[in-house]
Structure 1
Amino acid sequence: MQINVTLPLRWAQCWGYAIILMLVNLIVIFPLSAFLFQDFYSRMIPADSVQTIPFSESRKEMGNRSGNIKTTFQFDVERYSSDTAILPHVAANGFAQNVPLRADIPYNVNLDLNVFCLNKVTDLSVRDAEITISVSTSKKLAESVVFRKTLIFSCANTRDIPSLCENNRLSSTFANQVQKELVNSFHLDNPIFIEHDMKSLELSLKFAGNANLIVDPNTSLLTFSMNF
């Protein structure tokens, strides 16, 4: 009796080729394709497509009108053409500086705001304030309001403040507590979209008296990202 093993051997050979092909795809082709795509994609997007600017690098102004206290931060924009390979670096030195952005490219803007609130009276622990964002095509006063929103703040009352030290300074424990627990943090994802001809952006925070609102300029940020 003769047994024909040719067909099973052919099937085994085909399955062997298929398994080898799958292993090559999984081990070599797919990882290499993903790496090449990521490299190509990263080269298409400029390294300076995102600019993060802290409030400490803006021009700050404070005013009081009819019992309403208004704090304003103005960011002046400097546009650079594609001939400039690398945009200037914004140094975190506390001086007002221009925001370097690419010319002829619109940007989305994210806002991260960290604010401390201290009541001058002891009756309220929650207060509201209005945030307004205005833009201008010149480096002068803002021309048009593009965003307005009311924010709710939790405030510390004066009676809740721990006793002062002998040298009339707050203890380091209280200072750490303020920085970690008493800050009002807000994140606004793309509240505005700025056109390519925008030269100035002004952010103002207005609230009624009997409270102190202190914006942390080092952790409050504007993030400009190219709109592709």
Structure 2
Amino acid sequence: MKINISHILRLVQWSAYACTLLLVKLFIIFPLAVLLFHDLYLRLLPADSSNWVPFDTLRELKHDWSETGWRFSQDIKRIDADYELPKALDNGISQPIYLRDHILYKMDLNLQFYCVHLFNDKQKSNLVELELLIFDRLAKHKLFRKRIPIICLSEEYPTALGVPSSKYRSSRLELYRKEWLNELELDDKIQIHPKMRSIDFVLQTVEPTQLIFEPESGIKFRMHSPQGLINFMLRWRRTTYFVGIALFDLAITTLFSITALSTFALVSKKLPGNERKIS
């Protein structure tokens, strides 16, 4: 009786090839794709092409809601390309905003804050209008203005905050974030011209309120390029990395697979047939 086991051996052989290819992809190809794209990204966009500035490093000039609201200001210092661009330290201490000289920047703003009524009045609404003004202090030129509705904390407003926090298995602060945290985002709205040497932010409400900012609030300055692809890579860094690494991984995997499969096919053809006789 003859049993042909060549198909079984061939299946085992190709399964071993597939496992080898998978291991090579996970431990060699993917890390290589990450390193290659990261190197390409840094060559196209230097590390100082964008600068993150924590909002609590700005100087607070005024804290009077009835006059100008909350006013924050900071000087802009331009650094020549021959010198290293200092990064803003996240230490809560006022410090200049460092930008490259002769470069046009785009500014993105992300503010996360709580609003608290200063006077306890049951007649007041929890919905309050906040006005944001951004301008060049030295040139007295207004750059941006926007009004948005926000919610302000008051004791009379019935929410889940009146329920013990143990019911939600979270801290009281997490409950406050869930129900009372306001967010203001500006993306690709403001240009910082090379001659600007200062920038001011004014936030004001009609009613007497207090604003409490989250530590994650900040400003991002990024170099503006006439090339749309460069601007996209600066604005959407995570998306760029995801797409870029995926493309590099696909290209390297394709080349490796074609080479490996061609080699395996040639070797397989040269192997003698495996037949065993079992009586």
**Structure 2 length as normaliser, TM-score?**
0.58
Q: Decide whether the 8 Å contact of 1:142 with 1:202 is kept in 2.
A: no
- Per the alignment, residue 94 of structure 1 pairs with 92
Q: Decide whether the 8 Å contact of 2:51 with 2:87 is kept in 1.
A: no
1:162-215 deviations in whole A, cap 9, x for unaligned?
68xxxxxxxx94333223431101211122101111111111101123332323
- Distance, in Å, in 2 between the alignment partners of 1:189 and 1:127 is 23
- Distance, in Å, in 1 between the alignment partners of 2:36 and 2:212 is 48
- Per the alignment, residue 111 of structure 2 pairs with 113
Unaligned runs of 5+ in 1: 1-26, 164-171
- Distance, in Å, in 1 between the alignment partners of 2:46 and 2:110 is 23
Deviates more, 1:187-196 or 1:41-50: 41-50
- Distance, in Å, in 1 between the alignment partners of 2:154 and 2:33 is 59
- Per the alignment, residue 51 of structure 1 pairs with 51
Q: Decide whether the 8 Å contact of 2:111 with 2:185 is kept in 1.
A: yes
Question: Cα gap change, 1:150/1:142 in structure 2, threshold over 3 Å: closer, same or farther?
Answer: farther
**Structure 1 length as normaliser, TM-score?**
0.70
1:58-106 deviations in whole A, cap 9, x for unaligned?
10122437x356101112111111111x211221111100111100000
- Per the alignment, residue 191 of structure 2 pairs with 193
1:129 to 2:127 alignment: no
* SS of residue in 2 equivalent to 1:43: helix
- Distance, in Å, in 2 between the alignment partners of 1:159 and 1:36 is 57
- Distance, in Å, in 2 between the alignment partners of 1:33 and 1:53 is 31
Q: Decide whether the 8 Å contact of 2:62 with 2:72 is kept in 1.
A: no
- Number of corresponding residues: 183
CA RMSD of aligned residues (A): 2.8
Question: Cα gap change, 1:88/1:33 in structure 2, threshold over 3 Å: closer, same or farther?
Answer: closer
1:77 to 2:88 alignment: no
Which among 150, 170, 183 is matched to residue 181 of structure 2?
Answer: 183
- Distance, in Å, in 2 between the alignment partners of 1:33 and 1:178 is 42
Question: Cα gap change, 1:183/1:33 in structure 2, threshold over 3 Å: closer, same or farther?
Answer: closer
Q: Decide whether the 8 Å contact of 1:142 with 1:201 is kept in 2.
A: no
- Distance, in Å, in 2 between the alignment partners of 1:47 and 1:34 is 17
- Per the alignment, residue 224 of structure 1 pairs with 221
- Distance, in Å, in 2 between the alignment partners of 1:33 and 1:80 is 34
- Per the alignment, residue 156 of structure 2 pairs with 159
- Distance, in Å, in 2 between the alignment partners of 1:74 and 1:82 is 25
Decide which structure has greater helix share.
Answer: 2
- Per the alignment, residue 209 of structure 1 pairs with 207
- Distance, in Å, in 1 between the alignment partners of 2:88 and 2:35 is 32
Q: Decide whether the 8 Å contact of 2:54 with 2:88 is kept in 1.
A: no
- Distance, in Å, in 2 between the alignment partners of 1:83 and 1:182 is 46
Unaligned runs of 5+ in 2: 1-24, 26-31, 163-169, 226-279
* SS of residue in 2 equivalent to 1:145: strand
Partner AA of 1:82 in structure 2: A
Question: Cα gap change, 1:105/1:153 in structure 2, threshold over 3 Å: closer, same or farther?
Answer: same
- CA drift of 1:36 comes to 6.6
Decide which structure has greater strand share.
Answer: 1
Q: Decide whether the 8 Å contact of 1:63 with 1:71 is kept in 2.
A: yes
Partner AA of 1:52 in structure 2: W
Q: How does 1:13-24 map to 2 (within 5 A)?
A: none
